[in-house]
Amino acid sequence: MNYYYLVSQLPNISNSQEGKSSLPITSDEFRELSSRFLLETEKKIISNLSLVPPRSFEKTSSDFLDIWYDKERSLRFALAQIRAQKMKKDAYQLPSGCTADILQAARTAVGMDSPLSAEQFLFEYRMKLLDELRPINGFSVDAVYAYGIRLLLVERMKKFDSENGKTSYHKIYDTILGETI
């Protein structure tokens, strides 16, 4: 089924939505708009869209989402394993779908000095991956799902604030040292 009317109403969301300016649509507005055009099973999938994949594989009825969640799950396991190795702790086994590019992205992110830089790097990696996985038919339900994932990613990145992060970091650091400023 094609979703021409729905997709044509969705505003463009770029990878570089500058600063703290508001997005042209929120994820709640996206879900509400989508619900007018989708079948019940598709509405349920849209309402459950998340940046956090299930820990183990769960079929979604969308090949696009199954692949996206598999890649995201592999990335999260790779990040966890590399961080655990740095702390000399045990880690979960990497999923079979964990490819060399996922491992390299995880290594690069973990090796960065700034947590914000690591998040920005992972954001760009995820957006690139999303573009690679995006369905050819821009009016399919999978294209709607891809739009939803993109929107969630951009919304998440807009929540990061460098000054608040530094303040929080110093507060935690001082608490650990038992000192106050």
Identify the CA nearest to 126 among candidates 152, 145, 144, 162.
152
* Number of Cβ within a 10 Å radius of residue 160: 13
The answer to whether residue 14 is domain-embedded is no
Domain total of the chain: 1
Is 43's pLDDT higher than 80? yes
State pTM to two decimals. Answer: 0.86
Residue 113 lies in a domain: yes
For residue 5, tell me if it sits in a domain. no
Q: Is residue 151 part of a domain?
A: yes
Q: Is the pLDDT of residue 181 over 70?
A: no
Q: What are the backbone angles phi and psi of residue 180, rounded to the nearest 5°?
A: -130, 155
More confident residue, 8 or 168: 8
Q: What is the pLDDT of residue 38?
A: 95
pLDDT for 17 equals 52
181's tokens: 């400023």
Rounded Cα distance, 113 and 107, in Å:
12
The answer as to whether 15 is a domain residue is no
| Residue 118 burial (C-beta neighbours within 10 Å; 0-12, 13-18, 19+) | middle
Of residues 67 and 2, more confidently modeled: 67
Mean pLDDT of 115-132: 96
Is the residue at 12 inside a domain? no
Instruction: Give the residue numbers spanning the domain of 37.
Output: 24-179
Q: pLDDT category, 19, cuts 50, 70, 90?
A: low
